[in-house]
Structure 1
Amino acid sequence: MTTNTLHITVESTTSFFEAAVEDVRRLETDEQVDDKYVLSLPDEEALDRVLSAKNLELVRTIATQEPDSVRELARLVDRDIKNVSTALNQLEALGLVELEEVGRSKKPTVWYDHVEIDIQIGPDEADDPDAVPV
């Protein structure tokens, strides 16, 4: 069984762009680049909003129940359809869910079955050139 993993990182904008530039450099020299799906967030507050209990409930319900529409998902989680729709649109903008047009409705889907979170605890060397590695 193949596992599709979403990697979520909490990192500074500087670190994100340095990693992206390094990946581009590697591609230009035909070096191997990690084939990972990564969502980079700027801080823990953004992580808390993205992975709130209500959002996780939506993602888990989509993954396990495979609802055919936003309306069915709202019924499954016992929430107002407008609130579910708003949350799904935000999650779709981040690439965490996909909303597939099926007739007049949208079918929510997720492409991953596992989430890994990477949070740097020590100083971010990209933001602090005087930082001493731990």
Structure 2
Amino acid sequence: MGTTGNTTDRTLHIRFREGSDDDIEDALAALDQGETPESHFEVVYHDPADVHRVTRPKSLELLRAIVQHEPESIRETARLVDRDVSQVHRNLNELEELHLVDLTDDGQSKRPSVWYDAIDIDLPLVTPDVGSDEATA
């Protein structure tokens, strides 16, 4: 892992099917050398429908509103995206189930929040069990 100069990497990495052990091995090697490894946060989905739920325009609109405006409640989030509160509440619950949003009780309301400001999605088009011989045949 190279140093990019940005010590506050706030990117959530999303992978479909297979997680990468490379980052874990790099982190362990850095620890062995007495260094602090770079942060790497990853969510692995095994169902393509989950990846689709993340990348839907309505989901991305909500995530952008949360990152850019840090709303204090679901109601405020709904106002920011000009949508019905019940629809936004349902979508935010779905994003919470996908581990993309935290909904924190704040009095009588829930405050949506995310810790990242970018999402990197790794979506391989070849299944890992397909050998190179089969892929070229």
Q: 1:90 aligns with which of 94, 105, 109?
A: 94
Tell me the equivalent position of 1:76.
80
- Is the CA contact (8 Å cut-off) linking 1:3 and 1:114 kept in structure 2? no
* Per-residue deviation, 1:93: 1.8
Gaps of 5+ in 1: none
Of the three residues 111, 116, 123, the one matched with 1:119 is 123
Q: TM-score, normalised by structure 2?
A: 0.73
Paired residues for 1:31-46 under 5 Å: 35-46=39-50
| Distance in 2 between residues matched to 1:100 and 1:123, nearest whole Å | 38
Runs (5+) with no aligned partner, structure 2 = 1-5
> Greater shift after overlay, 40-49 or 85-94?
40-49
Does the aligned pair in 1 maintain the 2:16–2:123 contact within 8 Å?
yes
2:21 maps to 1:8: no
2:112 paired with 1:108:
yes
Pairwise CA RMSD? 2.8
| Percent of matched pairs sharing the same residue | 40
Q: Which runs of 4+ in 1 moved over 6 A?
A: none
Aligned partner of residue 64 in structure 2, secondary structure: helix
Which residue type is aligned with residue 97 of structure 2? A
Deviation digits for residues 15-57 of structure 1 (CA, Å, limit 9, x no counterpart)? 45x95xxx5xx97xx7698742111112433211222100000
2:132 aligned counterpart, secondary structure = coil
Q: Say if 2:135 is the partner of 1:131.
A: no
Out of 61-70 and 41-50, give the one that drifted further: 41-50
Query: With CA pairs under 8 Å and 6+ residues apart, which has the higher RCO, 1 or 2?
Result: 1
